[in-house]
Amino acid sequence: MSYAFNNDREYDIIAIGRACIDLNANEYNRPMEETMTFTKYVGGSPANITIGSSKLGLKTGFIGKIPDDQHGNFIKKYMSEAGIDTSNIVVDKEGHKVGLTFTEIKSPEECSILMYREEVADLYLHPDEVSEAYIKQAKVLLVSGTALAKSPSREAVIKAVGLARKNDVTVVFELDYRPYTWKSKEETAIYYSLIAEQSDIVIGTRDEYDMMENLENGNNQETIQNLFKHRPELIVIKHGVDGSYAYEKSGAEYRGQAYKSKVLKTFGAGDSYASAFLYALLNGKDIETALKFGSASAAIVVSKHSSSDAMPSLDEIEQLIAVRA
Ligand SMILES: Nc1ncnc2c1ncn2[C@@H]1O[C@H](COP(=O)(O)OP(=O)(O)OP(=O)(O)O)[C@@H](O)[C@H]1O
Ligand SMILES: O=C(O)C[C@@H](O)[C@H](O)C(=O)CO
């Protein structure tokens, strides 16, 4: 089955959350301590997803806060050149800095990220910087879980979700758990549940749903049983290389296989997956096809150096699906 959106809207997706900087190790198969050079990219999960969707041809916008410095200028320019509307990206005037993510590629299977997230501008987005006039122009409001980690960004997101609901904008919640800034697992579970229960579509890894449920080794059937008591109509649960599952409230279930790829690093998989999955849904494709789009896009990005610049074109995704069918 395909998913219905409010089609009389200017933007396909407006995302809210962080636009930051990734510094990706140039030297492969080395620990961070021995990594001497890095390449700079725009990063931050919701920014990456928006860049990916825009590259696939969706009309996108972004709500967020960037620092008033060269890094902020770089992010805004890159996103604008990627075709994203940046009119609702606010420039911080209180001296907050950009979020930095250093990546470590010890081996294709053993990658990690090191994030500097203290006093970052994105977490200082204020509720009064979130505009109803903007949100109501979207088919989809894409919410990143990390933006709930701290006030005032937390309240800005809660306001945005309320405005989306009021204006019949589909709310997509990407759990996007990062263990930085959150004070406790309890706190994460409270805010994740609050937003997940009000969202139409929820996307996350099995581990991220465990964070939401504040348990270990949770299972998909219990997760969907609980969430379907609330607003969600579609729940996507990702299991890394073991693929992903989509569940509809009607009871339908679908499995998406991961495509084998020449893996350079594993990060970026989730963001590329979300951008292509949403592209497919917004273009009226059925859920099985959307899962293939997500998996194909992820397989391409894990074979490349960045998480944003490496987002694939529609042709690349369709070719990979055709070859592996
Ligand atoms: N090594 C891999 N090779 C090919 N495809 C992969 C690989 N890892 C993940 N994928 C694809 O990407 C999807 C999302 O991966 P995963 O569950 O690791 O997301 P994530 O943890 O959100 O990613 P990220 O590391 O970017 O935060 C999977 O469902 C799968 O289709
Ligand atoms: O999400 C982040 O803030 C960092 C990303 O940009 C990074 O590339 C990554 O981890 C993607 O999964």
SS3 291: helix
CA of 308 to the centre of ligand 2 (A): 9
Confidence of residue 109 (pLDDT cuts 50, 70, 90): confident
DSSP per residue, 106-144: SSSS-EEEEEE-TTBGGGG--GGG--HHHHTTEEEEEEE
Residue 70 has pLDDT above 80, yes or no: yes
The torsion angles phi and psi of 137, rounded to 5 degrees, stand at -90, 5
ipTM: 0.97
Residue 43 CA, closest ligand 2 atom number? 6
The reported pLDDT for the residue numbered 107 is: 85
Would you state the pLDDT for residue 108?
Answer: 82
Pocket test for ligand 2, best of 40, 41, 45 (most atoms within 8 A of CB): 45
Is the model more confident about 100 or about 2? Answer: 100
From 123, 144, 267, give the residue whose CB has the most ligand 2 atoms within 8 Å, as the site to mutate.
267
CA distances (Å), 286 to each of 29, 76, 236, 237, 315, in order?
39, 34, 14, 17, 18
Q: What is the DSSP letter of 86?
A: -
Give CA–CA dist 20/43, Å, rounded.
5
pLDDT digits (tens, 9 = 90+) for 266-304: 899 999 999 999 999 999 999 999 999 999 999 999 999
Question: What is the model's pLDDT at position 255?
Answer: 97
Domain ranges of the chain: 11-19+45-95+120-324
Whether 1 has a pLDDT exceeding 80, the answer reads: no
Most ligand 2 atoms within 8 A of CB, residue of 20, 22, 23 to mutate: 22
Categorize the per-residue pLDDT at 324 as very low, low, confident or very high, splitting at 50, 70 and 90: confident
Task: Given CATH 2.70.70.10, say whether it is the number of domain 11-19+45-95+120-324.
Answer: no
Q: Please list the residues that pair with 236 across neighbouring strands.
A: 203, 246
Rounded to whole angstroms, the Cα distance separating 309 from 314 reads 15
Nearest CA to ligand 1 atom 2: 241
CA of residue 96 to ligand 2 center, whole Å: 20
So what's the pLDDT on residue 191? 98
Neighbour-count burial of 32, counting CB atoms closer than 10 A to its CB (0-12 exposed, 13-18 middle, 19+ buried) = middle
- As to burial, measured by CB atoms within 10 angstroms (0-12 exposed, 13-18 middle, 19+ buried), residue 267 is buried
Q: What is the mean pLDDT of residues 303-313?
A: 96
Mean pLDDT score, 70-90:
98
Q: Phi, psi at residue 25, to the nearest 5°?
A: -55, 130
Q: What is the mean pLDDT of the chain?
A: 97
Sequence length of the chain is 325
> Which residues have CB under 6 Å of ligand 2?
20, 22, 43-45, 48, 101, 113, 267-268, 270-271, 307
Ligand 1 mutation target, pool 112, 180, 273, most atoms within 8 A of CB: 273
For the entire predicted model, the pTM comes to 0.98
Q: How far is the CA of 48 from the centre of ligand 1 (A)?
A: 14
Helix (H) or strand (E) holding 319: helix 314-324
Q: Which atom of ligand 2 is nearest to the CA of 270?
A: 12
Phi, psi of 159 (to 5 degrees): -65, -45
Query: Rounded mean pLDDT of 224-252?
Result: 97
List, for residues 29-58, the tens digit of each pLDDT value: 999 999 999 999 999 999 999 999 999 999
Phi-psi region of 316 (alpha: psi -120 to 50; beta: other; left: phi over 0): alpha
| Over residues 87-104, mean pLDDT | 97
In this prediction, residues 154-179 reach a mean pLDDT of: 98
Q: Is the pLDDT of residue 207 over 80?
A: yes
Q: How far is the CA of 119 from the centre of ligand 1 (A)?
A: 29
